Amino acid sequence: MIRYEKLDIPKLLAKYNVRNITSRGEEVQFSCPFPEHTRGDRNPSSSINKATGKYHCFSCGRSGTVANFLADIENVPLATAKNWLEQSVGSSLNKENSALKYVRSLFNKEKDVAPGEVILDERILTEFSVDWPRVFTADKPPRELRYAIKRGFTQETLTTYEVGWDKHSRRLTIPIRNLDGALVGIKGRAVDVNAKPKYKSIGDKKGVYYGFPTCKIHNYVWGIDTSGPYLIIVEGEFDAMWLRQNGFPGAVALGGSDLSDYQTKLIKKVAESVVVLADPDLAGDKMERQLTRNLLGFVPVRIADLIDGDPASTEPNTLKELIDKAPGALTSKVKQKTQGV
């Protein structure tokens, strides 16, 4: 959770050239910087509460928290903005080190570009957007969206990770982002158990013109841009979302059981330790072997063994116990499986 009271909110606003900043008790008032104010906001109509971080503009109607403000002004996902603020508050916040300084350092870091990578316009996501709060309060939610609800996801989780719907492929959509948080692709997940394939890369294909290309999904690790250094690696994106919803912010997904060379590179670049949480089947065994072979010697690797089901169908307390007690790869069943590899 972000401790907003630790942020120097007036200083952050000033660095974005926000005008007419005044502090009155717990409230910081300022002129709204967003383009809805075509003639400017000469009489400050926006405010942020220092203690709660709640943000509202009484003129244009924008609202949320400091994280929403940062996401909007930097044009990045809300999850990314939250992660920046969480990490900045966790560091030594003083006159030499502000949230903004941390944010800027992320934009200035060396870029890591996958082969053939194309950065997509964030506005593409509006094509697939779903108003999850409205879906959750509807008497009869749309049939195609009930899958996500039945899986136990909250409206906050589905909104935070921008899960949407594609009317052409009739799949739930998951944005794919690179290490810097830039949108590089859209992945579709079938809700019909008989649909083949279960997962597919959404983009320009014969018969449907989306306006953007498909991406090579296996060049990316879902969630690695907002994970931190302690990774819990699972197969599916919804598995990773479930873990994050239940208190495991380091959960990331390979998007399948096969580990690519570029995914290995990304994990080595970010991780200080790894817990592998694979499905208890042959594909999961393969994933464990590949991760152990490619990562052991670079970072500590532990193996959390599920007895049945998958991470998204496992109770949070059970997941915590499995992850906390996960043995090192060399003392797990992978030791025998990787001999001679």
Domain ranges of the chain: 4-108, 122-137+156-215, 224-338
Peptide bond into 197 cis (omega under 30): yes
The whole-angstrom separation of Cα 329 and Cα 338 is: 10
State residue 111's pLDDT score: 53
CATH class of 224-338: alpha beta
Spatial separation of the C-alpha atoms in residues 106 and 237, rounded to whole Å: 24
Place of tokens 């799949």: 171
* CA gap 243, 312 in Å, rounded: 7
Segment 117-123 shows an average pLDDT of: 89
pLDDT over threshold 80, residue 81: no
Q: How many residues does the chain have?
A: 341
- Distance between CA 279 and CA 254 in Å, rounded? 12
Residue 240 has pLDDT above 80, yes or no: yes
User: What's the token pair of residue 277?
Assistant: 């949480």
Pairing of strands 54-57, 46-49: antiparallel
Looking at residue 1, its pLDDT comes to 60
Of the candidate CATH numbers 3.40.50.2000, 1.20.200.10, 3.40.50.150, 3.90.580.10, the domain formed by 4-108 belongs to: 3.90.580.10
pTM for the model: 0.68
* CATH class of segment(s) 122-137+156-215: alpha beta
Top pLDDT among 188 and 25 is at 188
What's the pLDDT score for residue 332?
61
Q: Residue 203: its pLDDT value, please?
A: 94
Is the Cα dihedral 87, 91, 93, 95 positive or negative? negative
Structure tokens at 220: 């990316």
Residue 22, pLDDT > 50, answer yes
Q: Tell me which of 10 and 84 has the higher pLDDT.
A: 10
Intrachain domains 4-108 and 122-137+156-215 with the same fold: no
Tell me, what's the pLDDT at 187? 97
